Amino acid sequence: MNSKPKHIVAVASGKGGVGKSTVAMNLAIALKLRGLSVGLLDADVYGPSQQHMLGVDDSVTPEQQDGKYLLPVEVQGIKSMSMGYLSSAKTPMVWRGPMASSALVQMLEQTLWGDIDILLVDMPPGTGDIQLTLSQKASLSGAIIVTTPQDIALLDARKGVEMFAKVEVPILGIVQNMAVHVCSQCGHAEHVFGQDGALTMAQEYNVDVLANLPLSMAVRVAADAGQSIVEVAPDGPEARALFDAADAVIARLASAEPVKMPTISMGDD
């Protein structure tokens, strides 16, 4: 039996706190609702969050096959793997970079993902050892950069773009999160963190802005409850923006080269 995603896409950010993991989870569900078979790898060893966002109970652990391979946890129609499944929420991973990188490569290569269309990798924030290792080992089809319009976030997001350029990973686009806040009482729109920062950055690097997501309590409430906003409120502005991003990713991957990651073969011998 062969086990290989057709495409691996990193969802990355230059810094934490920009909503990267929330975007990754919702984008995974949006791609699933567009008819793709999807996997989601939570690559944040030190602060895994996808288990909670997907609504998976703390007691759930991945099943093993032949004592070597992990079976992904299937939830909400997607296949998932996270360090959160392999450790306690109260037990932090106190590892140096090489140990964390090795653990992530094992989760990537020894999980039986099956012949899925796309594997999204929710990357840790930053541009350090773990990010470089995954960028090189995963044979990425592309990367999505998540940022907010704030100048500081954009400064770090540029570092993420430059990092992927150094390892020759194409940027599929930028998702600008918390782009605008719309008052639920009066409807007034306010750009709390700035305006058009991602657009300026996208023009600088000749890439597209895939989505402008509002600063939304509904997205936060849904994620805290282990739900996706694209399923909870599919007709809302947040979901429409995420579906637009999913459609753009699908279009870009249609002309991308499939990944060349190791093929896992299972036999009777």
Domain of residue 165, CATH code:
3.40.50.300
Number of residues written out for the chain: 269
Per DSSP, helices labelled H in 67-196 are 97-109, 129-137, 151-166
pLDDT of residue 264: 38
Residue 210 has a pLDDT of 92
Report yes or no on 2 lying in a domain: no
At 192 the pLDDT is 54
Residue 258 is assigned to a structural domain of this protein: no
CA distance 228 to 222: 6
pLDDT given for residue 45 in this prediction = 75
Checking DSSP bridges between strand 64-65 and strand 7-12, what pairing results, if any? unpaired
Quote the pLDDT of residue 78: 96
pLDDT at 182: 64
Burial 34-48 (b: 16+ CB within 10 A, else e): eebbbbbbbbbbeeb
Where do the H-state alpha helices sit in 55-128?
A: 97-109
Q: What angle do CA 86, 139, 49 make, to 5 degrees?
A: 30
The answer as to whether 259 is a domain residue is: no
Q: How many domains does the chain contain in total?
A: 1
pLDDT of residue 72: 94
Q: What is the DSSP letter of 13?
A: -
* pTM, rounded to two decimals: 0.86
Q: Establish if 163 belongs to a structural domain.
A: yes
Q: Which amino acid is at 60?
A: V
In a domain, 227, yes or no: yes
Cα diameter, the chain: 68
pLDDT at 27: 97
pLDDT attached to residue 187: 62
C-alpha 44/C-alpha 249 separation (Å) is 22
Return the closest-CA partner of residue 175 out of 66, 1, 26: 26
Task: Please check whether residue 27 lies inside any domain of the structure.
Answer: yes
Domain presence at residue 102: yes
Query: What is the pLDDT tens value at each position of the chain, 269 positions in all?
Result: 446 899 999 998 877 778 899 999 999 999 999 999 999 999 887 778 898 899 998 888 889 888 888 899 999 999 999 888 876 555 555 555 556 677 777 888 889 999 999 999 998 877 677 777 777 777 889 999 998 877 777 788 888 888 888 888 899 999 988 766 565 666 656 555 556 667 788 888 888 889 888 888 888 899 999 999 999 999 998 999 999 999 999 999 987 665 554 443 444 44
Question: Domain range holding 170?
Answer: 7-253
**Does residue 265 belong to any structural domain of this protein?**
no
